[in-house]
Amino acid sequence: METILYEAEQIPVAAKVIKDGGLVAFPTETVYGLGANALLPEAVKEVYAAKGRPSDNPLIVHVAGFEQVKEYVDNFHPLTEKIVAKYWPGPLTLIFSIKKGSLPEVVTGGLSTAAFRMPDQELTLRLIKTAGVPLVGPSANTSGKPSPTSAEHVYHDLAGKIAGILDGGATKIGVESTVLDLSDPSQPPMILRPGAVTQEDLASFLESPVLVDGHLVSASETPKAPGMKYKHYAPDTEVLMVREKDWPAALEWVQKQHKKAGVIAGPEIAEKMRYQTAAVFMLPEDTVAAGARSLFAGLRALDNPQLALEVILVETFDNQGLGVAYMNRLSKASGGRFFEAGMK
């Protein structure tokens, strides 16, 4: 199969592919999604096949407006309208209990709930409106690998497996949306996956408690949201998180162990490492926003067989605000491993 790169003027062509059951990747403000008609079970199954994604990992349904959600949900949490008015379109996914049989089981993972999002990306909103159907849209990458933040990343993973890619350039945020569970109207909202909309943001705006569920579900349990069960974001090369105070020791370890190492860090650290390690991916700034925007691109760039790196050392940020989402993704990419003095 030839994978076509669609430009903005070709949205009607891409929309017809989607409506007829084909797969088209699309840009969002977070990462690129792999789009299929959410109402066609066979098309959704093709998404799982193209990604190599476990079939009990539910998918997020992308819509062009809140009115579209009402076709599938009739019992909303009392805070829903307030949240939607503030954060849609945007990097916030909302989970609701749905009308029985309103969406294919392959979309929901067999659950009585479904996740919905209205992305803040004009091209994709036009694609959804033109197709006239909601789109499933997991990240458009090989399952478990770093998420794609450009059309080039999607093409690298899925060329020949999908019909096309709607090219919207590099994404603005770089980590997947916050997932907020509103499925029980009697309970406070609960964050199931951290993202750019933080617990602090939501609690301050809503003036009410917002809970966080950070556990990984068991092997026999179906997760309500992506990122709760399976290993994610991991390149083939070993990844180690490095605390700010540990960079001198990490560099000494690399040199003593004769490790062929790569570094992902902001300018201050990257400049020091540039001539002392095999490869450096410099973040645009020494900020967590720059880290979140560039982490997946950095992991992809350094996980290159031609570089043949043995380890990738990555800068950490404080685990607060957007740093919660950044550290969530980095922890999964590294298997939770930090550089520690005395490592072999």
In the structure, what pLDDT confidence band is assigned to residue 228 with cuts at 50, 70 and 90? Answer: low
Main-chain phi, psi angles of 40, to 5 degrees: -110, 100
d(CA 97, CA 76): 8
For residue 273, give the DSSP letter.
H
What whole-number distance in Å separates Cα of residue 330 and Cα of residue 130?
Answer: 36
Q: Please state, in angstroms and rounded to a whole number, the distance separating the CA atoms of residues 310 and 283.
A: 21
Name all domains of the chain by residue range, CATH numbers in brackets.
Answer: 4-212 (3.90.870.10), 238-333 (3.40.50.11030)
Query: Are 297 and 284 a contacting pair, CB within 8 Å?
Result: no
Residue 175 has pLDDT above 80, yes or no: yes
User: Which residues have a Cβ under 8 Å from the Cβ of 80 and sit 6 or more positions away?
Assistant: 94, 96, 182
Question: What does the alpha-carbon distance between residue 329 and residue 174 come to, in Å, rounded to a whole number?
Answer: 11
Q: Examine the pLDDT at 219 and tell me if it is beyond 80.
A: no
Residue 46 and residue 55: Cα distance in Å, rounded? Answer: 11
- pLDDT confidence tier of residue 233, bands split at 50, 70 and 90: confident
pLDDT at site 229: 52
- Mean pLDDT along residues 40-46: 97
Q: 223 CB contacts (<8 Å, ≥6 apart)? A: 56, 57, 58, 109, 217, 229
Of 177, 100, 88, nearest to 125 by C-alpha is 88
**Average pLDDT, stretch 204-208?**
96
Q: How confident is the model at residue 53 (pLDDT cuts 50, 70, 90)?
A: confident
- At 72, which amino acid appears? Y
- What span, in angstroms and rounded, lies between the C-alpha atoms of 67 and 284? 39
Going by pLDDT thresholds of 50, 70 and 90, the confidence category of residue 57 is confident
Tokens encoding 270: 């990257």
- Say what the pLDDT of residue 216 is: 52
Q: Across 70-221, where does the E strand assignment appear?
A: 92-97, 113-117, 135-136, 164-166, 178-181, 190-193, 211-212
Q: Tell me which of 4 and 227 has the higher pLDDT.
A: 4
SS3 sequence, 222-271? CCCCCCCCCCCCCCCCEEEEECHHHHHHHHHHHHHCCCCEEEEECHHHHH
Task: Give the phi and the psi of residue 243 in degrees, each rounded to 5.
Answer: -70, 155
pLDDT value of residue 134: 98
C-alpha–C-alpha distance, residues 332 and 259, integer Å: 22
The whole-angstrom distance between residue 103's C-alpha and the CA centroid of its chain comes to 22
pLDDT of residue 39: 98
Using alpha carbons, list the distances in angstroms from residue 220 to 18, 126, 216. Answer: 33, 39, 12
What integer pLDDT is reported at residue 341 of this predicted model? 87
- Between helix 151-158 and helix 288-302 the angle, nearest 10°, is 30
pLDDT band at 9 (very low <50, low <70, confident <90, very high): very high
pLDDT digits (tens, 9 = 90+) for 118-152: 999 999 999 999 999 999 999 999 988 999 999 99
34 in Cβ contact with 140 (< 8 Å): yes
Is residue 67 packed enough to be buried (19+ CB in 10 Å), middle (13-18) or exposed (0-12)?
exposed
At what angle are helices 199-206 and 80-87 packed, to 10 degrees?
A: 120
